[in-house]
C-alpha cells in the first residue's frame, strides 16, 4: 500500500515512532555528553564541547550567549551552537542579512513620506 493510501492511524503510528526515535537519539547524545564530562577530573570539566560532531553546552545560559545564538550580525554562519543543550540554533541576523542590506541601501521607499 502506498504511503498516500495508508490509513490515517498508520501514518500517526509512523509519526509517533519517528518522534520516539528522535527523542531516544537526543537522550543518548545528552547522556553521552554528560558521561564525557563526568569522565574528566573535576577541574577539567567545562560542560561544553562536541559529541559526535554536534556542539553541546550544559552551562547556565547567559543573555550574551543566547543573543549570539539567535542574533549575531558579525557571524557569517547561519547555524550557531545552542546557548544551552545539544545542536544548533539559527542566526536570524544572517538569515535576514539580504533584507537588512537592501533596506540600508534604499532607506526611503517611493511614496513613503
Q: What is the pLDDT along the chain (113 residues), one digit of tens a residue?
A: 555 666 666 667 788 999 999 999 999 999 999 999 999 999 999 999 999 999 999 999 999 999 999 999 999 999 999 999 999 999 999 988 776 666 666 566 555 54
d(CA 98, CA 51): 33
Size (the chain), residues: 113
Which pTM value belongs to this model? Answer: 0.71
β partners of residue 50: 55
Dmax (CA) for the chain in angstroms is 66
d(CA 75, CA 67): 12
Amino acid at each position: 500500500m502506498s504511503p498516500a493510501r495508508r490509513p490515517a492511524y498508520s501514518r500517526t503510528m509512523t509519526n509517533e515512532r519517528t518522534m520516539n526515535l528522535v527523542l531516544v537519539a537526543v537522550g543518548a547524545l545528552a547522556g553521552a555528553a554528560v558521561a564525557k564530562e563526568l569522565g574528566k577530573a573535576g577541574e577539567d570539566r567545562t560542560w561544553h564541547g562536541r559529541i559526535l560532531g554536534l556542539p553541546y553546552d550544559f552551562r547556565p545560559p547567559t543573555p550574551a550567549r543566547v543573543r549570539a545564538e539567535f542574533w549575531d550580525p558579525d557571524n557569517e554562519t547561519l547555524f550557531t551552537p545552542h546557548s544551552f543543550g545539544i545542536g544548533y540554533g539559527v542566526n536570524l541576523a544572517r538569515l535576514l542579512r539580504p533584507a537588512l542590506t537592501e533596506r540600508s541601501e534604499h532607506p526611503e521607499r517611493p511614496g513613503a513620506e
